[in-house]
């Protein structure tokens, strides 16, 4: 039997994004990482409910030379110490690179689904930006948009819009009982 997964964006979903001029950005270092309230407990509830937990994150600042892979991996390691994430999948490309992994393309979700024998139609993508939601839709997942009202393009189509990660967890856990 195929497994169910929750695909999670990283910055703005698990940890607090650094908002600059209305746009969310990743922390610049491990010391800037702030895990959002209730996230570690919520992720544990998803794990206890049997979900595979896969973080899928665009990290174009590596391609742009603004940060290093070591910093990205350090932030991932910090998060992994506090929550039972099964896998971190990163796209280090910039938009112009035309890769298949950069969200809104579904490459990272498809790779995670193949690695863990996940049924995408029974899985969820949780994100705080339009690219996250579109990647989930393109992969065939249910989508949950955490709306922080960033000053940027907003998703036009999603399954659920919520105000916090806790709200997203509640939707997923309720759906898992049906």
Let me know: does 106 contact 5? Beta carbons within 8 Å: no
Residues 82, 178: Cα–Cα separation, whole Å:
29
Residues 141, 128: Cα–Cα separation, whole Å:
15
Residues 58, 68: Cα–Cα separation, whole Å:
13
Tally Cβ neighbours within 10 Å of residue 134.
21
Is 9 among the residues known to form the active site?
yes
- Taking Cα atoms as reference points, which of 110, 91, 119 lies closest to residue 11? 91
- Annotated catalytic residue, options 9, 100, 117, 151: 9
Is 97 among the residues known to form the active site?
no
> Does an H or E element contain 29, and which?
none
Task: Tell me the pairing of strands 18-20 and 23-25.
Answer: antiparallel
Strands (E), 35-75: 52-58
Tokens of 59: 């990290």
**Catalytic residue list:** 9, 11
């Amino acid at each position: 039997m195929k497994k169910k997964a929750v695909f999670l964006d990283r910055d703005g979903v698990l940890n607090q994004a650094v908002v600059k001029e209305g746009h969310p950005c990743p922390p610049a270092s491990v010391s800037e990482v702030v895990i959002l309230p209730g996230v570690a407990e919520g992720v544990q509830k998803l794990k206890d409910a049997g979900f595979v937990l896969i973080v899928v994150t665009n990290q174009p600042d590596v391609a742009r030379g603004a940060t290093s892979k070591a910093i990205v991996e350090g932030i991932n390691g910090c998060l992994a110490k506090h929550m039972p994430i099964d896998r971190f999948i990163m796209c280090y490309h910039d938009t112009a690179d035309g890769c298949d992994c950069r969200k809104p393309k579904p490459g990272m979700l498809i790779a995670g689904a193949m690695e863990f024998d996940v049924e995408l139609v029974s899985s969820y993508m949780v994100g705080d930006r339009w690219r996250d939601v579109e990647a989930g839709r393109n992969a065939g997942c249910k989508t949950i948009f955490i709306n922080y009202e960033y000053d940027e393009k907003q998703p036009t189509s999603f399954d659920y819009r919520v105000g916090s990660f806790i709200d997203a967890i509640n939707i997923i856990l309720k759906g898992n009982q049906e």
